[in-house]
Structure 1
């Protein structure tokens, strides 16, 4: 199961990106078998014994203190998102409550999506499912999908990794979008370790997508709250839109993402044009 090894995978990924010289340690003359900082180099800098740190990576130190986690975060130079992720991984309970296989959209979020008429808006779930979208979001993100698909809902991670031709044509920087997708799922797993459908979805993507498998091993982490991205739409051309993820206070893994262009910009003009085309199609 993912949660039992997630903490160790995350710590190893962050050790691998640091070199001894960055922390004031001698690099040595012998060739290193693995990239990055060794466990015996990290542990003293974080103020813990090497044996304790090894047990921590192996998931055998369940009662690790916040002080130790903060010391590791400082030593590994984690940013705010990564620090929160580290604390969540260390607090995953041994017994997890299973979540229902079908994620039901909260009515309030559905109404919020419907309220946006001049900006693309989607309601997203913890697995990356698009649980609702307005016509403009459908026209922007997945016009090749049915507006009201039956069965499995569209999933932005699945589209980006398994419908590569479409995704690479839509996003000017597909690599950045793909990394953000993986970061979104990494955070979801640490927040909802009992979601067996989420774990199965990740396993499926690892099997079907080499790109996803490689990125997952790097363990990127981000809350993906506000991101500006360039879209290359086949009907109206290139647009730079800022995506804002809005989550309710009682976060259940669902939220609403709204896409907006800078006022007075060419992107705003093109987004308006897309809205006109969408409105005309609907009529």
Structure 2
């Protein structure tokens, strides 16, 4: 099917009616636009695994804790539409806030046990907003599979847990982080970096890669890994570290002694951009 655009739920239902009637496998790739190769990797995998691919484009106001952050979020709807066409997307669902939230918000999805750490520690309400909009999108699109990147690992864990505990009839598929040639994890927020900031931005990925290598080489003390990573980040004057944490990949709880696979996650400010990244780390032997 040629790419079709739906701006309302009624239009989307009309487009997906045949697919749902015929039992076709529908994929959903939720995005906030400003699409890049990380997003297209999700679209490509969905295209390979499902019959109908629905990309959603919605800058969700509920997940922003500051109005200025929402206002400066990159937007380029025409480019996003062209990217979706090139990557075999069947439907682009691009609702307005009025379509998604037609009246006063009375119900939200609370993910408190998983949102208070990592990015949630300094962004109160962010993951409540994410969980609420993703629940709505999954109910609206009714896909068999939904695709999310490991780049936003906390988000992925929260959504997978939410889908499981709320008995949503969808498989949450996590996909590997896509990186630039210098290691920087692709993100829509990278567009906020000026050339000088972009040149030092890969340090965040380097710090995490070195920490993962240290675990493989025998380091078991998480506090030592965290201290070394923070020292390296803070050695670059343009960086302002937010957090570096070693957590259990299933529960996001902090790990002090590393005995199995962990996730090492970090966030740091570089100019006006807040960069996040994470890597898996496992002891050898």
TM (norm. structure 1) is 0.26
TM (norm. structure 2) is 0.26
Structure showing the higher strand proportion among its residues: 2
For the pair shown, the structure with the greater C-alpha radius of gyration is 1
